[in-house]
Structure 1
Amino acid sequence: MQLDRIDFALLDALRKNARLPNKTLADKAGVAPSTALERVRRLREAGVIQGYHAEIDPQALGIGLQAMISVRLERHARTDVAAFDTYLKTLPEVLSFWHVAGGNDFLVHVAVRDSQRLRDFALDAFTTRKEVAHIETNLIFSFQRNARLPTPPR
């Protein structure tokens, strides 16, 4: 799907606030409300807009600590990667994860109550897995999502 200036304006506005009323969204993109509505529908159907999310205060849920855990697998066999990917999806402490290239194979963003729970989680969830060779944990002191849309290629 080829995106134009209007699409980028709509996506930028939605990235900053996905709850904008359609009239406000149309004003920000400089188009009629009916055009904005149709464009957003088309962007959703094409899979450009993949979902809408609420940013929730972790402390309101009793989460006092977040960490990024780097995981290196024992082997890079497709079956091991797929098994570990599937396993991560079952862990409620895992907020998100990335399969990456480099010195490690996965970066896993986790949220837990406190440092004791992080220690227990890392030991129970990762070191017991046969496909895991090494883990390294980095505490997250703060998190900020960039609300700006990435600059489109020229």
Structure 2
Amino acid sequence: MRLDRIDFAILRELRKNARLPNKTLAERVGVAPSTALERVRRLRESGAISGYHAEVAPAAVGIGLQAMISVRLARHSREDLDAFHAYLLTLREVLAFYHVAGANDYLLHVAVADSDHLRDFALDAFTTRPEVAHIETSLIFTFRRNPDVPIYREAEEG
């Protein structure tokens, strides 16, 4: 799908607030409400918008501590990577994970109730896995999502 400046403006506005009323969205990007509605539909259908998410206050659901866990695997076969990836998707404490290059293979953003929960989770979830060679945990003191989206493509004319 070719995106123009209006599509990019819509993506920026929805990234800031996905619950923005269509009329307000249309005003902010300078189009008619019917145009905004059709553009959002096209962006969804094309996959440019892949979903909408609620930002949940951690304390409201009992999350008292967040951390990044670096994981280094012992082996790097396709089977081990696929199995570890599938395993991570089963862990409710894992908010997000990144398969990365460098000294470690994965960075995991985890959310737990407290430091005891973090210790037990790290030990139980990772030190028992044969493909895991090393873990390192870093506490997160502050987490904020940037509501802006970097756009590196040029808008299409048209």
| TM-score category of the 2 structures, normalised to the smaller one | over 0.9
Question: Which residue number corresponds to residue 63 of structure 1?
Answer: 63
Distance 1:40 1:153 in 2: 19
Question: Which residue number corresponds to residue 104 of structure 2?
Answer: 104
Q: Which runs of 4+ in 1 moved over 2 A?
A: 151-154
**Across the two proteins, how many residue pairs are aligned to each other?**
154
Distance 2:84 2:97 in 1: 11
Q: What TM-score, normalized to structure 1?
A: 0.97
Distance 1:112 1:146 in 2: 22
Question: Which residue number corresponds to residue 135 of structure 1?
Answer: 135
- State the 1:149 CA deviation: 1.7
Question: Which residue number corresponds to residue 87 of structure 1?
Answer: 87
Question: Which residue number corresponds to residue 37 of structure 1?
Answer: 37
Larger RCO, structures 1/2 (Cα 8 Å, 6+ apart): 2
Question: Residues 91-144 of structure 1: CA distance to partner in whole angstroms, max 9, x if unpaired?
Answer: 111111111111111111111111011001000000100000000100000101
Distance 2:10 2:151 in 1: 14
Distance 2:151 2:11 in 1: 12
Root mean square deviation of aligned Cα = 0.8
Q: Structure 1: where are the runs of 5+ without partners? A: none
Q: What TM-score, normalized to structure 2?
A: 0.95
Question: Which residue number corresponds to residue 118 of structure 2?
Answer: 118
Specify the SS of the correspondent of 1:146: coil
- State the 1:82 CA deviation: 0.3
Identity of aligned residues (%): 73
